[in-house]
């Protein structure tokens, strides 16, 4: 009987207890000196704003750097190719980045070097990255490569070679291509999954 009475009043006791604590907390807040709180919150907001601004700047710089790497790859691998060939080279680069089997950045994919036991040296994934002296990209071909890179990087164009991770020029027959089924031939390049 006593327990039934105790349990019946339990919700109202809890409500009174919570209301009393809430009242005490509000009373302390209204009567407390808030100068320190205002200072801490202000400093926190300034630091957070500065942090977000820095993050935005660095993210923009990373985007520009990766876009430049993609444009250089299109320029040096597919300069003089039809637009479809340039888009295909850019797509292969982006597919490699997305695959998880290659570096996580576009620049990492473009400048990746792997050890070749036959040549006993590191070999670039894209042949132009092995050259010591390259002319600076410029002119209409560079502008076109940049526009292609932007379109593929920002996904403005629907992918044509989804899943393609490799390609080579039509005038060579690399060992790695033996046994692979080509999925497309665009311009002077053959593309593989």
pLDDT tens-digit map of 100-155: 898 989 999 999 888 888 778 888 888 888 888 888 888 899 999 999 999 999 98
pLDDT at 8: 64
Q: Are residues 8 and 54 in the same domain?
A: no
Q: Are residues 23 and 60 in the same domain?
A: no
If one counts the domains in the chain, the total is 2
In 79-138, where does DSSP find H-type helix? 83-99, 106-110
Q: How many Cα neighbours within 13 Å face the side chain of 76?
A: 20
Q: Which two tokens stand for residue 114?
A: 């792997």
pLDDT 10s digits, 34-49: 788 888 888 888 888 8
Q: Are residues 53 and 26 in the same domain?
A: no
C-beta separation of 191 from 161 below 8 A: yes
Give the contacts of 33 (CB within 8 A, at least 6 positions apart): none
Give the contacts of 109 (CB within 8 A, at least 6 positions apart): 93, 96, 97, 102, 103, 125
Q: What is the mean pLDDT of the chain?
A: 85
pLDDT at 135: 85
Range of the domain at 16: 2-32
Q: Are residues 90 and 170 in the same domain?
A: yes
Question: pLDDT grade, residue 6 (50/70/90)?
Answer: low
C-beta separation of 69 from 111 below 8 A: yes
Examine residue 102 and state whether it is found in any structural domain, yes or no. Answer: yes
Question: pLDDT grade, residue 163 (50/70/90)?
Answer: confident
Q: Are residues 156 and 96 in the same domain?
A: yes
Find the angle CA(16)-CA(19)-CA(21) to the nearest 5 degrees.
110
pLDDT at 40: 86
Q: Which residue has the higher pLDDT, 142 or 184?
A: 142
Examine residue 63 and state whether it is found in any structural domain, yes or no. Answer: yes
Query: Of 81, 93, 76, whose CA–CA distance to 152 is shortest?
Result: 93
Q: Are residues 10 and 73 in the same domain?
A: no
pLDDT at 123: 81
Helices and strands (H, E) in the chain, number of each type: 5, 5
Give the contacts of 174 (CB within 8 A, at least 6 positions apart): 168
Gap between the Cα atoms of 78 and 125, Å rounded: 15
Q: Which residue reads 């690399």 in tokens?
A: 174
Residue 88, pLDDT above cutoff 70: yes
């Amino acid at each position: 009987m006593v327990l039934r009475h105790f349990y019946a009043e339990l919700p109202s006791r809890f409500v009174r207890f919570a209301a009393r604590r809430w009242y005490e907390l509000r009373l302390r807040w209204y009567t407390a000196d808030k100068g320190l709180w205002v200072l801490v919150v202000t400093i926190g907001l300034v630091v957070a704003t500065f942090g977000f601004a820095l993050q935005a700047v660095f993210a923009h710089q990373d985007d520009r750097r990766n876009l430049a790497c993609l444009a250089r790859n299109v320029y040096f691998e597919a300069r003089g190719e039809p637009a479809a060939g340039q888009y295909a080279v850019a797509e292969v680069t982006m597919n490699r980045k997305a695959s998880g089997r290659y570096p996580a950045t576009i620049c990492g994919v473009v400048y990746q070097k792997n050890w070749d036991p036959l040549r006993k040296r590191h070999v670039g994934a894209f042949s132009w990255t092995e050259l010591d002296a390259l002319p600076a990209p410029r002119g209409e071909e560079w502008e076109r490569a940049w526009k292609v890179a932007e379109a593929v990087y920002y996904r403005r164009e629907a992918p044509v070679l989804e899943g393609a991770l490799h390609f080579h020029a039509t005038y060579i027959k690399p060992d790695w291509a033996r046994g692979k089924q080509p999925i497309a031939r665009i311009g002077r390049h053959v593309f593989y999954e």
